[in-house]
A = this chain, B = another copy of it.
Amino acid sequence: MSSEPPVPETSVLAVASHVVSGNVGNKIAVFVLQSLGCDVAALNTVQFSNHTGYRQWKGTRVTAEEITDLWDGLKQSYLDRFDMMLSGYVPGAAAVEAVGNIAKGLKEKSQAKPGSFFWVLDPVMGDNGQLYVADDVVPAYRGLVHHADLILPNQFEAELLSEVKITDFASLRTAVETLHSRYNLPHIVITSVSLPLNTQQDTPGNPPRSRTMSVVGSTRTSNGKSRLFSISFPVFDAYFSGTGDMFAALMVVRMREAVHNAASSSLKDKASWLSDDDVDALELPLAKAAEKVLASMHEVLSRTCEAMQKELDAALAEGSAKEAGGLSEDEKAKKIHLLKSRAAELRLARNWDCLRGPVIEYRAVKLE
């Protein structure tokens, strides 16, 4: 494990939610970015006591005006220079537009120096077929994503943006190519594809394998064609919040690292870091970055799983001893949900080595 940061000096503007307790949104993204050597400006779009997966929380959202005001505050004091921007959860369509305006301003300023600014956009709208933002957030993102350099939708969000339902490999390819062509998007990673890609089917006689999922990525060619790869990884039998935010923050760093280490030393000075057409899918900085990101993710999730069951058992034992049956069944179920949510918070602070020195286990394969 090296203590040298993997990237040259990198100034990142991170726009996402803040929770007092737990590890989602900017709470996890800022730590990941800082741990990997970035200087981070953190614009928090909400301050909640905890993430919404607990099903109860307190706190406030920041308005579109407050977002714009904070940005004006940075501009007036010469604090608006960034190499990269990462945007995650933003509450409501007006606030999404305010964040989009920040990114557009930074893009414009960087025109004279191609490659000097890169926007990673996680278009947080929903998951598993369910929207968890207001309806008008979807068109707000559709009007914005063509300014982004890399977007990180999950499968449902990729469907919302491309308006292509992903049911098999052909429709997956169509969705990615639609995102490239309709929005002129340079780089795409779909962070959770549940189609069986590059995995052997279970066959009778073999023990059942654990469930796998894939990320699917592509960097477009100069004529808008996709260069598709996927990386499959085993899924843990637990529900974690903040994995998308951690993935996004790691991608910011690993993408910059891969571009700086690219065979073509001029890549970092090209608009949107677009690799030449002769670069194969598996040689893309995007693919190399995603491999490292998934390695870190898998290590952190493994350690979280280990700690989780121990914490949960201890909490339940203590709780039941104290309350001795004083709770109704409903109250008990609620309490167990809350304790499970807490136990499943991603463990990062003591697992710094997973971020800095990930060991790659899952490799990208070309999708053709």
Contacts and interface: CB of A to CB of B under 8 A. Distances in A.
A293 to B, nearest CB: 19
Interface in A24-82: 27, 30-31, 34-35, 37-44, 47-50, 54, 56-60, 62, 66, 69-74, 76-79
Interface stretch (A187-195, A266-274, A334-342): A334-342
Given A49-B79, A79-B50, A353-B3, A21 B74 contact: yes
A40 B50 CA distance: 12
Nearest to A39: B349
> How many copies of this chain sit in the oligomeric assembly?
2
Q: How large is the interface on A (under 10, 10 to 19, 20 to 34, 35 or more residues)?
A: 35 or more
Contact of A20 (B20, B41, B350): B41
Interface string A334-368: 01001101100000111011000000000000000
B74 A349 contact: no
Contacts of A74: 20-21, 49-50
Chain B CB count within 10 A is highest, among A69, A72, A76, A349, for A349
Given A37-B349, A77-B54, A79-B342, A47 B21 contact: no
A9 interface: yes
A3 B354 CA distance: 11
Contacts of A66: 59-60
Contacts of A317: none
Contacts of A315: 78
Interface of A: 1, 3, 5, 9, 18, 20-22, 27, 30-31, 34-35, 37-44, 47-50, 54, 56-60, 62, 66, 69-74, 76-79, 315, 335, 338-339, 341-342, 348-350, 352-353
